Amino acid sequence: MYTLEQLVNYAKTYGYIYQGSEIYGGLANTYDYGPLGALLKNNIKAAWKKVFCNDEDNVMLDSSILLNPLVWKASGHLDNFSDPLIECKACNQRFRADKIISDFDPTVNTDQMNFLAMEDYIASHHLHCPACGKNNFEHIRSFNMMFQTTQGVVKESGNEIFLRPETAQGIFINFKNILRTTRKKIPFGVCQYGKAFRNEITPGNFIFRTREFEQMELEFFCAPGSEVQWFNYYREKMVNFLINLGIKKTNIQVYDHPKEGLAHYSNATTDLEFNFPWGFDELWGIASRRDFDLNAHAKASGTELNYLDPESNEKYVPYVVEPSLGVERLLLSLLFNGLEDYIVDNEVRTVLHLHPFLAPYKATILPLSKKELGPTAKKIYHSLQELYEVAYDDAGSIGKRYRRSDAIGTPLAITIDFETLNDKCVTVRYRDDMSQKRVKISQLKKIIGALVKL
Ligand code: ATP
């Protein structure tokens, strides 16, 4: 597997991910997604939508980033969406106290520790500042991670507003609207992807933890009593989704949170962890949240958020199962999982093994001669481009062009040679095993279509 440093270099070199605000010296922990990264992100969201929305008869939502601040009061984010912040007196750097402890001993369950217990643990185990190595900390305090800004032209109190730290609340507050307009029956789910913002104390590990990121969340509404069945159903579906996308089984670990560490409203929480170079770490979480969120919003807004079962005539507040995944965390996992360097003829051949559905380009069109074969190659390119993202490359030796195509994860290389003008055939070369076959131009769309099936 690539090291973090190798992967950052790769992402920058090929146009997957750039440092944010680079020409101004950067802005720490912000990233821009280049031509390939933008396509990959879109394909990740499309894959998730296909499997978790379309396949399931669930529905989509696109709610605002800015919500009435009362939403965050009711959801508990204003009071509780905070991390334990600890500051080093020597170098003034700030850290998450729970992370300092779990980095030292991953078996310690910090969810069950209050600030005093964490301070005691850090002192008694002589844990040092990760930046300067000294052992001289301030008391731990609570740090709310919501980004605050002001709405409107006048900066006065009462105008404070927050950037959403998760997409989920937009779904809960639209529950009644969705029910009314779609006439869905329980059980059903609402899917949403979009930006979320968290003022993380210690962002890092490249795009693993940033302050601006994208989430793909599903709130699945079901009848009380059926939530365990649905939790297990989605937990398994999530693992299968990752494996189907090509993530190796050995790179996935399923961590079921112990009952004692769960939030008071939750009766099950599981993290799917990926094998990052720094160890297994959270990729995707699923939580059974009972009726906590709908009840909280019903109480605070005065709007009933319940469901009338048309068959039993019974009225109830639905229970919720919530799988929540970060787009960038999945993207990072896919890069670590898929990148391989092979030595061929004393040269490094880099290959990104990506599922064709996800690959930014499905094929690269390669004319052997720019001049004589260009027009035919361009025709093929434009015809394929109607259905799929394809690339065109006529610069450099064919070996170099193959290597570039493999390195960015393109599953097919389509070579147009002089025979093509007579036999209307091209050579198709497969990225993963480098096998080649000669096929009719008229078959290309079908071949790509079969390959990108999810
Ligand atoms: P962590 O423990 O890593 O801070 P969390 O348990 O707070 O994550 P959730 O609130 O469950 O995360 O968010 C759901 C998903 O959103 C996570 O599994 C992750 O994929 C993604 N995510 C959360 N925070 C970030 C972040 N700061 N940067 C990138 N992705 C994030």
Ligand 1 contact, 297 CB (< 6 A)? no
Q: How far apart are CA 406 and CA 399, in angstroms?
A: 11
Within this chain, do residues 24 and 168 fall inside the same structural domain, yes or no?
yes
Taking the CA of residue 1 as centre, how many other CA atoms within 13 Å lie in the half-sphere pointing to its CB?
18
Residue among 329, 331, 332, 333 whose CB has most ligand 1 atoms within 8 A, to mutate: 329
How many structural domains is the chain composed of? 3
354 located within any domain: no
CA distance 96 to 85: 5
In angstroms, what CA-CA distances link 288 with 83, 100, 164? 22, 28, 21
**Predicted model pTM:** 0.95
Same domain, 258 and 209: yes
pLDDT in the model for residue 341 = 97
Residues 65 and 208 in one domain: yes
The answer as to whether 347 is a domain residue is: no
Whether residue 446 is found in the same domain as residue 297: no
Residue with CA nearest ligand 1 atom 29: 209
Residue 140 sits in the same domain as residue 151? no
- Tell me, rounded to whole angstroms, the distance of Cα 212 from its chain centroid: 12
65 and 91 within one domain: no
Residues 253 and 113 in one domain: no
Pairwise CA distance, residues 322 & 287, whole Å? 5
On whether residue 290 sits in a domain, the answer given is yes
- Residues 365, 403, single domain; the answer is yes
Q: Which of 144, 176, 196 is the last residue of a domain?
A: 144
So what's the pLDDT on residue 123? 95
Look at residues 263, 276, 293, 294 and name the one whose alpha carbon lies nearest to residue 334: 276
Q: Establish if 355 belongs to a structural domain.
A: no
Residues 217, 93 within the same domain:
no
Residue 431 domain flag: yes
Q: H helices of 292-326, where?
A: 292-301
Low-confidence residues of the chain: pLDDT under 70: 155-156
The pLDDT, as a whole number, for residue 152 is 84
pLDDT, position 436: 97
The parent domain of residue 133 ranges over 84-144
Q: What is the DSSP string of 221-265?
A: EE-TT-HHHHHHHHHHHHHHHHHHTT--GGGEEEEEPPGGGS-TT
311 and 176 within one domain = yes
Question: Is any ligand 1 atom within 6 A of the Cβ of residue 210?
Answer: yes
Residue 196: Cβ-neighbour burial (10 angstroms; 0-12, 13-18, 19+) = buried
329 CB near ligand 1 (under 6 Å): yes
Q: What share of the chain is helix, strand, coil (3-state, %, to 5)?
A: 35, 30, 35
Ligand 1 in reach of 213 Cβ (< 6 A): yes
What span, in angstroms and rounded, lies between the C-alpha atoms of 397 and 347? 15
**Best CA proximity match to 410, nearest among 431, 389, 425, 394:** 431
In-domain check, residue 164: yes
pLDDT digits (tens, 9 = 90+) for 22-61: 999 999 999 999 999 999 999 999 999 999 999 898 999 9
Distance CA 329, CA 87 (A): 27
Amino acid identity, position 234? Y
pLDDT attached to residue 111: 84
Indicate whether residue 417 lines ligand 1 (CB < 6 A).
no
